[in-house]
């Protein structure tokens, strides 16, 4: 029995469809067409646009010449209004082309261009309007860097009570794009505008970012954060947004005992998460991108095991645990053997780990009383049987001997030489 | 790390309008992103077109990506938004409006949070087949909530519907999927 959403999520989240060789050809054609738009046809549009603007300007000038008094008065009104709004506002009418509308979708270029045309027509009549200062935020083209704020002019000469949105004055507002973040990240944002913008948190808390100031805000809520402005009705209107993700579940399970299966003092750990893992032993990175990791803990003491995970959203979380090793690792050597024992496991001496590890070594047995080497081997199949190779006789009972093992290829954090004592019983 | 360096190299190439780098990036994410599009748009040709449109946006916006988050997550989000925009713009299926019956909340609606089924694993192809049978409205809400892990609040904002409607549609989508899967499997048994 499984929840429907879990079933579909595990089936589809990382689904990948096979690559279609013809797909890039189609994509490439689109890219070619797009670069073409910016080339010859783009220039043509620009030339036509400029020519159109000249025609309109000449027409307006001729018209104004005949109606100088009225138009001058109206233009002055507009100019003074603009100055009240922002001293930096420019009067490039050809750019005052966005219709105030609220849509979260990205607007087609074609739509924008047709709006430009219709607004150009409306532009002239706006000179005769008795404008009422309403700041209306133009919303188009989600995630574009530059936005426009356009005042709406209420036509008093028109009898019907309709709002004509004539973008005569404009003010460019800049909203720097923000990448998605993770919970508890510190969000730093510079308001480059000459007026306040607002940060709207997922719990609809509005935080003002005053003109030309920077804010530092700890992101305590997951979800959608929006940066935008307040419209005439003091309602928040989003201009740029980013999401704050909670790091995905990241569980580290560490065994409670060492596993000597391979003759090494291994501590096994497993990560339950998705994404990229980094494994740490006492703050040193020891492995990358592994679901499971084994740590060789050779010395007695406390070890800090940690695993950090970067999930699909780029959020990092770290799990840390401590493990205490009771004693130093000494190749799992016994401290006594009995050559005459009935139990074949006790009749020879060789540190047990050397029979499990696939690692070249050399072992010597030394008589501590005179330093003589009694036995030497490099094979796990040839353990010491208690015979002194110098005399060919069995060594004395209850006497202690020193063993020394030199590893040719010790593990990365392992010493190459081990020493211990063994008593012949 | 090597993968990240490689990706950075490709992205830098794309920023310089290098067609080979664009192709490499396209190939790198084609399979996963086409799967995303196909979950929202049943028609394969339209899904391909939306994918291409999405990639053009990816190429356009690459300069704002600063490699602080997951690149795949970033691309995925653009593709999802493009797919939703495409559905929203579709005149034949203006499905993403509050007034649409797909999104209407019926007061008698039973919202079941934990709809379960006697299955432990589902093949991607079967899952896709079932999702395709959902109405576009249910499908979109289900995809956004379950696969993309958006909250109901975010879905409400993206689709211009209420949170309650989003919840209701998710519940209905799950019920329908359960029914579709049950029917599919009973057909298989026969």
Mean pLDDT is lowest, of A135-149, A362-376, B160-174, for: A135-149
Q: What angle do CA A117, B159, A239 make, to 5 degrees?
A: 55
Complex confidence, ipTM: 0.79
pLDDT at A163: 32
Residue A59: pLDDT above 90?
A: no
Residue B153: pLDDT above 80?
A: yes
Quote the minimal CA–CA distance from B124 to chain A in Å: 5
pLDDT at A402: 95
What is the arrangement of strands in the sheet containing A266-272, beginning at the earlier edge strand?
A: A251-254, A266-272, A292-296
Contact residues, chain A, for B151 at CB < 8 Å? 202, 223-224
Entry pTM? 0.45
Instruction: Output the CA torsion sign for A315, A277, B64, B76.
Output: negative
Closest alpha carbon to B136 in B54, B47, B31: B47
- Mean pLDDT of all residues in A357-369: 93
Quote the minimal CA–CA distance from B85 to chain A in Å: 6
Q: If pLDDT is split at 50, 70 and 90, which confidence band does A85 have?
A: very low
Q: How far is it, in rounded angstroms, from Cα A180 to Cα A176? A: 13
**pLDDT tens string A364-376:** 999 998 899 999 9
Contact residues, chain B, for A7 at CB < 8 Å? 117, 119, 121-122, 127
**pLDDT tens string A19-38:** 888 889 889 888 888 766 54
Closest alpha carbon to A366 in A395, A397, A337: A395
**pLDDT tens string B23-43:** 999 999 999 999 999 998 888
Residues contacting A150, CB < 8 A, separation 6+: A96, A98, A100, A136, A137, A138, A165, A167, A168, A169, A170
Q: How far is it, in rounded angstroms, from Cα A300 to Cα A282? A: 14
Q: If pLDDT is split at 50, 70 and 90, which confidence band does A139 have?
A: very low
Instruction: Tell me which residue has tokens 């003074």.
Output: A80
| Residue B1 tokens, joined | 């790390």
- Mean pLDDT of all residues in B134-155: 88
| Residue A409 tokens, joined | 């290829």
Contact residues, chain B, for A141 at CB < 8 Å? none
Helix axes B44-61, B71-89, angle to 10 degrees: 130
Residue A272: pLDDT above 90?
A: no
Residue A172: pLDDT above 80?
A: no
By the 10 Å C-beta count (0-12 exposed, 13-18 middle, 19+ buried), A344 is classed as exposed
CB contact under 8 A, B73 and A314: yes
Quote the minimal CA–CA distance from A69 to chain B in Å: 47
**pLDDT tens string A380-398:** 999 999 999 999 999 999 9
Coil, strand, or helix at residue A205?
Answer: coil
Average pLDDT, chain B: 80
Give bridge partners of residue A171 from the DSSP assignment. Answer: A149
Q: Of the candidates A2, A15, A312, which has its C-beta nearest B35's C-beta?
A: A15
CB contact under 8 A, A5 and B124: no
Residue A344: pLDDT above 70?
A: yes
Test mutation, A2, A6, A8, chain B, max B CBs within 10 A:
A8
Test mutation, A4, A109, A219, chain B, max B CBs within 10 A:
A4
Quote the minimal CA–CA distance from B106 to chain A in Å: 22
Instruction: Kindly give the pairing relationship between strand A417-424 and strand A336-337.
Output: parallel
Residue B106: pLDDT above 60?
A: no
Closest alpha carbon to A379 in A336, A348, A401, A343: A348
Q: Of the candidates A10, A18, A179, which has its C-beta nearest B68's C-beta?
A: A179
Instruction: Say which residue, A127 or A186, is predicted with more confidence.
Output: A186
C-alpha neighbours within 13 Å on the C-beta side of residue A258: 21
- Mean pLDDT of all residues in B109-131: 72
Q: How far is it, in rounded angstroms, from Cα B108 to Cα B124? A: 33
Helix axes A4-12, B124-132, angle to 10 degrees: 120
Q: If pLDDT is split at 50, 70 and 90, which confidence band does A53 have?
A: low
Q: How far is it, in rounded angstroms, from Cα B64 to Cα B11? A: 11
CB contact under 8 A, A7 and B19: no
Q: Of the candidates A3, A31, A312, which has its C-beta nearest B70's C-beta?
A: A312
CB contact under 8 A, A30 and B73: no
A182: nearest CA in chain B?
B69
Backbone angle region of A391, left / alpha / beta, with phi > 0 → left and psi within -120 to 50 → alpha: alpha
Task: Decide: A229 and A173 in contact? Cβ < 8 Å.
Answer: yes
CB contact under 8 A, B124 and A3: no
Contact residues, chain B, for A24 at CB < 8 Å? 23, 26-27
Contact residues, chain A, for B22 at CB < 8 Å? 31
Chain B residues 34-73 within an 8 A CB cutoff of chain A: 34-35, 38-39, 48, 51-52, 55-57, 59, 61, 64-66, 68-70, 72-73
Residue B100: pLDDT above 80?
A: no
Task: Decide: B111 and B143 in contact? Cβ < 8 Å.
Answer: no
Helices (H) and strands (E) in chain A, counts: 6, 27
Contact residues, chain B, for A12 at CB < 8 Å? 35, 39, 124, 127-128, 131, 147
């Amino acid at each position: 029995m499984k929840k429907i959403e879990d079933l579909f999520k595990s089936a589809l989240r990382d689904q990948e469809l096979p690559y279609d060789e013809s797909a890039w050809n189609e994509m490439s054609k689109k890219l070619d067409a797009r670069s073409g738009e910016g080339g010859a046809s783009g220039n043509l549009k620009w030339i036509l646009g400029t020519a159109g603007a000249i025609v309109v300007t000449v027409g307006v000038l001729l018209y104004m010449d005949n109606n100088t008094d009225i138009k001058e008065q109206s233009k002055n009104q507009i100019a003074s209004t603009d100055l009240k709004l922002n001293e930096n506002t420019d009067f490039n009418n050809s750019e005052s082309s966005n219709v105030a509308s609220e849509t979260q979708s990205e607007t087609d270029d074609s739509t924008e261009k047709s709006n430009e045309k219709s607004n150009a027509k409306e532009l002239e009549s706006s000179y005769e309007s008795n404008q009422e200062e309403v700041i209306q935020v133009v919303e188009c083209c989600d995630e574009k860097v530059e936005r426009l704020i356009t005042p709406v002019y209420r036509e008093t000469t028109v009898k019907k009570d309709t709002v004509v949105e004539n973008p005569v004055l404009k003010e460019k507002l800049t909203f720097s794009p923000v990448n998605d973040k993770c919970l508890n990240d510190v969000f730093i944002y510079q308001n480059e505008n000459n007026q306040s913008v607002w940060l709207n948190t997922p719990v609809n808390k509005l935080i003002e970012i005053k003109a030309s100031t920077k804010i530092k805000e700890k992101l305590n809520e997951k979800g959608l954060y929006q940066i935008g402005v307040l419209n005439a009705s003091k309602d928040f209107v989003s201009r740029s947004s980013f999401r704050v993700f909670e790091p995905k579940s990241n569980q580290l399970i560490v065994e409670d005992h060492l596993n000597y299966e391979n003759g090494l003092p291994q501590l096994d750990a497993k990560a339950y998460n998705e994404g990229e893992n980094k494994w740490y032993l006492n703050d040193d990175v020891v492995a990358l991108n592994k679901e499971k990791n084994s740590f060789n803990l050779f010395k007695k003491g406390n070890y800090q095991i940690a695993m950090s995970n970067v999930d699909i959203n780029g959020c990092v979380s770290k799990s840390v645990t401590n493990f205490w090793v009771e004693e130093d690792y000494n190749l799992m050597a016994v401290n006594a053997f009995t050559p005459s024992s009935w139990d074949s496991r006790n009749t020879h001496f060789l540190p047990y780990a050397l029979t499990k590890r696939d690692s070249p070594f050399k072992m010597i047995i030394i008589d501590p009383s005179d330093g003589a080497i009694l036995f030497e081997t490099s094979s796990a199949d040839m353990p010491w049987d208690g015979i002194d190779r110098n005399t060919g006789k069995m060594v004395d009972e209850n006497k202690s001997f020193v063993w020394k093992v030199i590893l040719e290829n010790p593990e990365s954090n392992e010493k190459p030489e081990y020493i211990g004592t063994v008593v012949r019983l | 790390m090597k993968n990240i360096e490689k990706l950075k190299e490709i992205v830098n190439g794309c920023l310089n309008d290098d067609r080979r780098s664009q192709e490499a990036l396209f190939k790198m994410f084609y399979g996963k992103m086409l799967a995303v599009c196909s979950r929202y748009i049943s028609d394969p040709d339209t899904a391909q077109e939306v994918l291409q449109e999405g990639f053009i946006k990816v190429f356009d916006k690459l300069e704002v990506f600063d490699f602080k988050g997951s690149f795949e997550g970033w691309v995925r989000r653009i593709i999802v938004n493009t797919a939703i925009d495409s559905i929203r713009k579709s005149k034949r299926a203006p499905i993403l409006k509050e007034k649409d019956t797909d999104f209407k909340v019926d007061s008698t609606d039973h919202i079941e949070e934990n709809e379960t089924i006697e299955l432990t694993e589902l093949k991607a192809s079967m899952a896709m087949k079932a999702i395709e049978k959902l109405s576009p409205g249910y499908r979109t809400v289900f995809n956004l909530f379950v696969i993309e892990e958006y909250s109901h609040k975010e879905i409400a904002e993206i689709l211009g519907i209420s949170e309650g409607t989003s919840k209701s549609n998710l519940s209905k989508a799950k019920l329908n999927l359960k029914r579709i899967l049950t029917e599919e499997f009973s057909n298989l048994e026969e």
